[in-house]
Chain A
């Protein structure tokens, strides 16, 4: 039997939905559909889209590899400074991304704390390379994954882990065989959030990675540049980015829902 929806919930829910959907609708209405094909088959736009999809996916994988263990630490260990650690981890969420980009320079730039010795030894510097795009995206996307996975870990029933431990399983086995399958949907949701955030990343990327077609100009940077000269093309490019991301998310969601 369907749950009846109380109007006290329905009204704000509807308002919230309109608030999110109407601007997107406005974008769709204003977009110049007559030259849509020309805008979205433009070489530079496709180059930017390809770079965005690759870098955002690599950033998501990095975020999962680094973020899941960190989330486990936050949720399962009882070290005294955990409150502080959690606050530090959420900093990239409140930091204006442009400032995040400058912060990345101070560590990984060619005169940064770690970047300088690297540059002196190898002649390689991160800024103005696709690696810098991935780093910038991972920096801003990681907190989303950590918070999402930590929530899943806290909500998971710990008795399964306890049972595995009493049966003699080692901690790493418990983590990979019991905990990880339990929090699968949480990891998936976090990964999707991280991917989406990486795909839309602008400020840290344009600061730390620069802006060059094919190497560092992702779709949001392409849209920003188009706004300077051809605002209607910028709208069309935004629609393209939205369409591709929604398509990917819907396809992935179906997979994950079937699996878990």
Chain B
């Protein structure tokens, strides 16, 4: 008994040193030397300023300003509208959306009315994005972008369903194809050059079969800004 206690006490301290301090330090050392870019979060810079991480989704929106005052909600988070000239990421359950300092699932069940409402509201926003005027309160649009989606049945599931992490960096190829109509209209760019960028920033499945292809939205939007057109 006494011997076990002594061994346990020494053991837990020594093993904490080995696995809790030395092991993470060793991994950090090797990673920082071999893959510093990845180890530090694949930072993306624009004009020398940090603007994001390549593999973390962002909310491509602007803060609403009324009478010269930036609007905030009652929790102090900015009230935002989507920036239509950028591709939009998937719906997010974090507050504010796409918040990588406090990730969370939506935790909406398959048979719940709350889920239905959330999906309906995501569909409405998505249809609203692709309506060239603005969606009326009844959800009708007088002028769509050419070939844009006009009904729920045409909305890809990734645009209607909340992502798991809330910071999904990717959208589906189908989603990007649809949004490309809006982007090329607003930026006055040929659709083909927008689609070229989409395919450039589409990653394949792992080993050719594991997972799904996805379009990295941050990289795509940064490349769009490089392309010229009407920014």
The finding on whether chains A and B are genuine partners in a shared complex, rather than unrelated, reads no
Q: Report which B residues bind A (CB closer than 8 A).
A: none
